Amino acid sequence: MGAAGCSLLPGGDDGGDKGAPSPSAASDKHAGSGRSGGDGKSEAGKGDGNKGGKGDGGGGKSAKPALRGRTIMVDPGHNPHNRDQPGEISRLVDIGTAKKECDTTGTATNSGYAEADFTLDLARRVRTALQERGAKVEFTHDGEDPYGPCVDERANAGNRAQADAAISLHADGAPSGSRGFHVILPASVHKGEADTRRIAGPSRRLGTAVRDTFREVTGEQPANYLGDGNGLDTRGDLGGLNLSKVPKVFLECGNMRDPHDAALLTSAKWRKKAAQGVADGITSFLAGKRTHKSGQ
């Protein structure tokens, strides 16, 4: 997505949403049909996970799956077919604080591995990990739509599903030498259709949990090219966050334009770790949410 915001491919790499404040390239991409998650064609998606959450992410068969009864919206950034629909993805949509492109193409590694392909593969892996813990997982799109969905619809998908948590998966397109991952949090905004005042706090807790577990599981360090290096970036210009009514964050998993990060992003073994890091963060956030409620 290049959420940091440098557009590197036609249509912009900021997913219609991301490309402004920082030096990278991506998009605020998908908010689509609320599908129950991709077609599982990738290596990661083969397990249907919906087998009742048999794997509970920690306990034995007698333990209650950690995420039973929870709904998670996973948004694979961009769409592999966006490049074929420049007119559709360039039309403007209202994100509350401004108007932005429907979507963008996303970025790619120097060898041509597209961000949209990366995000779909990772999303399917994340879906499997979450379903094994008992969660209901929905996707904004599964890569079969002709384009998009637009950034506003990506947000609305999570709202319609009344998701307990939502995450949009991306990879950045910053200059070579810029390394690491970061989580984008919604700023507290209230303008037009955008009102994140109720979700800004919970989204920060979600983002912090994902930041911590993603770093622990993958060994990757927070981005060295934005903010204070803590791996968290707050933005109020992304439609996928501005229009969300449920806790939501964007994850920029690394910089596709840097050889070191690209070697990780193109590794199936690393993507398996990345998926676990994402699932662990979401699980940690929701476990804390349940504990907080029960303590009131």
- Which residues are designated catalytic? 252
- Local structure of residue 179 (DSSP, 8 states): -
Q: Are 57 and 282 in contact (CB under 8 A)?
A: no
Q: Are 175 and 261 in contact (CB under 8 A)?
A: no
Q: Which two tokens stand for residue 204?
A: 């920060």
Q: Give the contacts of 60 (CB within 8 A, at least 6 positions apart).
A: none
Q: Give the contacts of 86 (CB within 8 A, at least 6 positions apart).
A: 10, 11
DSSP β-bridge partners for residue 183: 232, 251
Q: Which of 71, 44, 181 is nearest to 126 (CA)?
A: 44
Cis peptide before 10 (omega within 30 of 0): no
Dist. CA 242–CA 88, nearest whole Å? 21
Dist. CA 292–CA 286, nearest whole Å? 10
60: exposed, middle or buried (Cβ count in 10 Å: 0-12, 13-18, 19+) = exposed
Query: In whole angstroms, what separates CA 218 from the centre of its chain?
Result: 16
Q: What per-residue string of b and e applies to 6-42 under the rule 16 or more CB within 10 Å gives b?
A: bbbbebbbbbbbbbbbbbbbbbbbbbbbbbbbbebeb
Dist. CA 293–CA 230, nearest whole Å? 28
Q: Are 204 and 246 in contact (CB under 8 A)?
A: no
